[in-house]
Structure 1
């Protein structure tokens, strides 16, 4: 690796320019793929740059994508073919990615994952003759192919993957609790998959590392699943050892539920509510009625009121058919891990009985409403139909879009820009339902769950209770 610049004469860190070879699971690129990357459209070039910058900024605190992009506005990345495959030219890269002028190995691996996934989607999947981003079968196959290309799918591993969801902006007590749950999961040999960011996405991975170390079963799998518009605001935490970038939030969510053998949900904000509504909306499908996918809500004693608020909201909007699909366990990490481990054994038995693969749940029915990418423009947000007379799965899908739009307005660069230009999103619907949504969102704001700098949080939405 050739280092061009490192620090200035006053010993203050400066952005670094360097050349590196990829490391990890990046497959060798063909001449055609390299040519396509070199001639990338503005869209692909922007996605590649943003994801690469987020990975190079791994471990740094913050959830403001615009600030990070502005701080490193001169950063650039180019892919070049050489006799040993490819090398990456980095200009003005974040100094936190280097130690003594050399890129940290884990970050180098994650950077290679960025090139791999962006290349695969834009150069392979989007160029297939039957490409159709509105066809459910094509979408699910695309998710499968991206995961397979990233070596996430392993037919030799029995069911042991626990997806953990929760907020990036959480108090220390909740973070420590998520770490303790992870420790108990690690003691039982369970692998962890999260959204790869900080907070409740980092805690379980860190705890599981200690649990596995005690059992001498290191390293374990710490899978981070993300997408381009959110990775800049939630850069991968340092424990992630397998990163995969899906093209959009809907495919990211589908990847989670297809590879999960069980799901644990810690306290969070609008993003966690979006994930809960996505999963419950799918589980409400009649075809998924007998599907084995354990779902646990858990947190320390201090979060008891939080889960009561979530449970009340879900009961009010989706009813008992939804609330019976999850179990709430408060302040008992050992019981969470025991229950999950036992339920995953049931998942294994069910997969064997139904002749289903362990590594990707093809039998899960995911309707179009949950697969078609939702672009949260002001018009789209104000047009979402919100009424409890809707079928429960449709209401869940529409509520998911509401929270997805709020996440975009809070932390995604394009969403922040839209709010700046046109003001807050307007959300319309049935009066009592609007009151329930407003109450839940106000609770998130009061608890500081919207952004890391929540003390001066200005809502990106307006609830129209008319």
Structure 2
């Protein structure tokens, strides 16, 4: 990556943090000068790089090594001083409005996380405590809207996709928008942008105001996948596990588009939860879809689920090929079931409290070489536990592909070694090899993909 033009600027809040007491501003300044500063700098740089076609956090951080951000206190509140910031985030010296909103959303979430973790109210040692923590993070970000009937569709898929797949995701988003459904994604490019763009047009045609395009991310991902400019509600969760829980707690249905290992990780996380006996009767519409060109990918992913987790897992979702209208109709029908189920049980529409998430899905997984080699990928495990471990394997590969810390580990210690039963390892190896052949591991035009793993049976 070549050095881009840079700019120095002073920016005041827009979208959040406009009304703060002097004490709150002082606290922000103290946090900004402390241990959270590095994290905020990394997220801020990613946001300022919105639109850049780079999926390597290490490359971005190195290209703007002299970028700095300082939090300054003033009588009216807080102000950010940016030094050597990417100039593409500005027009005629003024920061683009969506970028400014997301920049202060990042500050809000990181400061809240920093202050809340020190609270005696927070209990991250229990499943209920972690769920409560995710709830408070989302409430602080004003993501939860009490009283609004189910209408939020989560869209998962890859940032490294073909033009046909991107156009298809826009068509699906358009059909969702025409049916007054809102969209939540991982906030980056590719499938995380397409449905939002399509839904925005659908909403405009229906003269729908107050469109919601929610982007949920975490610090390790945002550095590699900068938010797309359509996102109007950005939330940064502390880690991948809390981000994934936020998706399934606020979403009323999920559409899974073509992607790579990150999409497979999300899919396995979802299946592992839905396969838990406590969630057997809970309605949660899930559709696996893509254009006709992606049919081999969809069929291979479907076959992988059958080979590793069984028919029971395949029954928890529907596969739709090249039919955006049908996908949207299935989501609308699924929303009706979600609405009925929650009303009968007096559950909230804005947060899925009844969904059981096993504690093994909630604690952060640090993909060290030892942890990856120790994963239990055995046929004898209950399906929801095997799904959890497969999810961790894909999480490690994501880290080795795009996250700064993971990339450095691979450079230092070599490839991850993934062990397991042959009946699990063979379909896993075949799926990963297909991802490589279909260029789903890196953005198109990137250097040839060098695997960060070895699959050993």
TM-score, shorter chain, exceeding 0.5 = yes
Whole-Å separation in 1 of the counterparts to 2:88 and 2:389:
40
**2:391 corresponds to which residue?**
400
Number of equivalenced pairs = 453
> Would the aligned equivalents of 1:34 and 1:79 in 2 still touch at CA under 8 Å?
no
- Does 2:49 match 1:53? no
**2:73 corresponds to which residue?**
81
Please give the TM-score of this superposition, normalised by the length of structure 1.
0.95
How well do the aligned residues superpose, as a CA RMSD in angstroms?
1.5
Whole-Å separation in 1 of the counterparts to 2:20 and 2:413:
42
* Residue among 42, 52, 57 paired with 1:65: 57
**1:272 corresponds to which residue?**
263
**1:111 corresponds to which residue?**
103
Q: Displacement of 1:14 after TM fit?
A: 2.8
Please give the TM-score of this superposition, normalised by the length of structure 2.
0.96
After TM superposition, the runs of 4+ consecutive aligned structure 1 residues lying more than 6 A away are none
What's the secondary structure of 1:456's corresponding residue? Answer: coil
Q: Which runs of 5+ in 1 are unaligned?
A: 1-11
**1:426 corresponds to which residue?**
417
**1:211 corresponds to which residue?**
202
Q: Displacement of 1:218 after TM fit?
A: 3.6
- Does 2:448 match 1:456? yes
Whole-Å separation in 2 of the counterparts to 1:234 and 1:14:
20
Whole-Å separation in 2 of the counterparts to 1:204 and 1:22:
28
Whole-Å separation in 2 of the counterparts to 1:450 and 1:27:
40
> Would the aligned equivalents of 1:448 and 1:454 in 2 still touch at CA under 8 Å?
no
Q: Displacement of 1:386 after TM fit?
A: 0.8
Q: Displacement of 1:80 after TM fit?
A: 1.7
- Does 2:119 match 1:128? yes
- Does 2:331 match 1:340? yes
Q: Displacement of 1:46 after TM fit?
A: 1.2
Q: Which runs of 5+ in 2 are unaligned?
A: none
Write out per-residue CA displacement over residues 265-312 of structure 1, whole angstroms, 9 at most, x where no aligned residue: 000100000001100100111111111110000100111111111111
* Residue among 365, 370, 377 paired with 1:374: 365
Whole-Å separation in 2 of the counterparts to 1:244 and 1:224:
6
Whole-Å separation in 1 of the counterparts to 2:68 and 2:266:
33
> Would the aligned equivalents of 2:26 and 2:73 in 1 still touch at CA under 8 Å?
no
- Does 2:302 match 1:311? yes
Whole-Å separation in 2 of the counterparts to 1:37 and 1:379:
37
> Would the aligned equivalents of 2:36 and 2:111 in 1 still touch at CA under 8 Å?
no
What's the secondary structure of 1:174's corresponding residue? Answer: helix
Whole-Å separation in 1 of the counterparts to 2:272 and 2:170:
28
Q: Which moved more, 1:154-163 or 1:169-178?
A: 154-163
- Does 2:313 match 1:322? yes
